[in-house]
Chains A and B, each alone.
Chain A
Amino acid sequence: MFKLLFKSIRSRILPVSLVTITLMASMVLLLSIERIQQATKEGFNQSISGVDAIIGPRSSSLEIVLYTVFHIGRPTNNITMKTVDDIKQRKDIDWLVPIALGDSHQGFRVVATEKNYFQHIKYAGDKPLLMSSGLAFNKISEAVIGADVAKKLNYKIGSSIQISHGSGESIGMKHDDFSFKVSGILNKTGTPIDQAIFIDLKGYELIHIGWQSGKKLFSLDRFDMSSVTNDELAPKTVTAAFVGLKSKLTLFKFAKNIQKYSNEAISAVIPGIALSQLWSVIGLVDKGFELLSWIIIAISLIAMVTLIISSIENRKREMTIYRANGASAFFLSKLVVFEALLIGITAIISAIVFVTIVSYLATDQINIALGITPKFEWVSLEEIKVFGIILLAGVLSSLVPAIMVFRKNIHHGLS
């Protein structure tokens, strides 16, 4: 039967291929959406590890997580270093890392922080931040860059960086009176850290000397660097502070206390909770996309059934000849159903191969464009289940023309 089926398909290869490609495209869509969803979720979840709470101005917790961890969006307020130092004294805190955000370089965000950032901040669960070359900054003029920054801008240890003021808020304002030198390059983490540039908080303060109301009043060339002590370069305000507690059990009590802090309007954001808020929002959007791709698949299946029905007209001769030679109506129906099965399986396998290979080859581009790292995996159990359903739907819907063939032949005989 299969030899007959293949030769029959070959004689109608153009319409059959078109339908197969249509089906395959719709499945590529579904697969891509689902994999991007997965990777994004994992990527997000991996980006924040070991940080129990983020102290920030009283603002939407989701916003705070987005700009401090993912560098998405802009902070609209700051918190004072005085408050940060005060909180640091608390007994339930194990470590605290303040950060200041605002500047950028060639589109990459600059994170001003203390050296202990690299000690305490982890990713993907518990992986520590390691340098692929060089060391964390020791001097105020030194900078550590993420793996993607080094790759895209071709920076090495010793490369010189001049920072731009703001991250899109200013036009052409550069801190071109001060150069930072790359002292360390981080390993690839698959998180937004890869696209960040780290400098010391004091360096951040230094380059903003002479800036007022967003305007540069004088260049640092005119400034006597020795006139300011290291202590004086300590920032007065920062964007936020990452906190690690000695015991996770004290987390909620800690957050509550911070909420009640009387000297400044601050709050403690628990990243996991904020992220789940994010997922419930995004989840709705995802459901929308999913629905869309299911609709597209349904349309493709309809196209397939349409093809089969129209092909039956073309294959009337073929089928009558089989029938005349003793083929049962059941045999003819099998031809129809198996063709649908063949189209379905080909489309599914092609879709899987296509998506997996593309995401493998384009891992870097996807990483830079979407900030996520696609996992290299041929197909997951969930996906197999979904494809099984689609295949079943395809076969079942092919039963329609199959039954048509069946009945037609029994009632009309040969001609």
Chain B
Amino acid sequence: MILNTNNLQYTYQNGKVVSFPDIEIKAGQKVLIIGFSGSGKTTLLNLISGALKIQSGEVNLLGNSYSSMSSTELDRLRADHIGYIFQTLNLIPFLSVAENIALGVKFSNSRSALVSNLTVEIERLLKSLGLDKEVLASPVDNLSIGQQQRVAVARALLGSPNLILADEPTSALDQNSTNNFLNEVMQTFNPKSQAILMVSHDLSLAPHFDTVIDFNKANV
């Protein structure tokens, strides 16, 4: 069991209360959560990543219960075991592509240790995601959206963290690119130790995943 959540509930500042469906994720699982914009998908990811403090309910990652952890401990947990992909603007423009990817292991000693040769591993990931080695020499701003998102994936996968969280990473891509993108992602991650949790509003992505949770229906 990599992740499970229990009775997660969040009250926003405007008073709105959202209850999240319980989630259970094991190694190898590819989970898609469907919800319309503003339904709380990003909040769910925030709670699961440990960046947002839990108000009510439980989140358990690899046996660690979030409610009993301090924010520093949560940060460390995230650094060691979670890879995060944003919807857009994943990359820092003043760092090189390689430096951006290396951020994945920068904040975790254990994860760095798993990467014996950083350059080799980065090149392997890029290749698997359909990116040319030349991408490494390119400034971040020159990359297409598709390339940027793939680099973000490489970062999230570097050092093999157990849980990959992705917040609508395909919304800026067209249908064709989206398919290619998800294919490459699914073929690159290691189903023996890793799992993927993606949120999106796009139901057409469902075929790429083995579990689909419709948040719209489960919402209060």
Contact = CB atoms under 8 A, between A and B. Distances in A.
Interface of A: 4, 7-8, 10-11, 317-318, 320-331, 409-415
Contacts of A11: 93-94
A328 B71 contact: yes
Given A413-B51, A414-B84, A328 B94 contact: no
B94 A326 contact: no
10 contacts: A7-B94, A11-B93, A318-B92, A322-B103, A323-B75, A328-B76, A410-B53, A411-B52, A413-B52, A414-B86
B42 A328 contact: no
Interface string B52-90: 110000000000000000011001101110101010011
Contacts of B99: 7
Contacts of B82: 326
Nearest to B75: A328
Interface stretch (B104-112, B173-181, B183-191, B194-202): B104-112
Given A317-B89, A323-B51, A415-B42, A329 B84 contact: no
Interface of B: 42-43, 45-47, 49, 51-53, 71-72, 75-76, 78-80, 82, 84, 86, 89-95, 99, 103-104, 106-108, 155
A324 B84 contact: yes
Contacts of A10: 94
A328 B72 contact: yes
A326 B90 contact: no
B66 to A, nearest CB: 13
B92 A326 contact: no
B112 to A, nearest CB: 11
A411 B86 CA distance: 18
Given A325-B107, A409-B51, A413-B47, 10 more contacts: A11-B93, A320-B86, A323-B51, A325-B79, A326-B76, A327-B75, A328-B72, A328-B75, A414-B42, A414-B51
A325 B93 contact: no
Closest 7 CB pairs of A and B: A326-B79, A413-B46, A413-B52, A326-B107, A11-B94, A324-B84, A328-B75
A392 B42 CA distance: 40
A238 to B, nearest CB: 76
A7 B84 contact: no
A321 B106 contact: no
A326 B78 contact: yes
A321 B79 CA distance: 12
B79 A327 contact: yes
A326 B46 contact: no
B94 A8 contact: yes
Contacts of A318: 92
B108 to A, nearest CB: 6
Contacts of B49: 324, 413-414
A252 to B, nearest CB: 72
Task: Kindly name the residue among A8, A324, A327, A415 whose own CB sees the greatest number of chain B CB atoms within 10 A.
Answer: A324
Nearest to B52: A413
Contacts of A8: 94
B80 A326 contact: yes
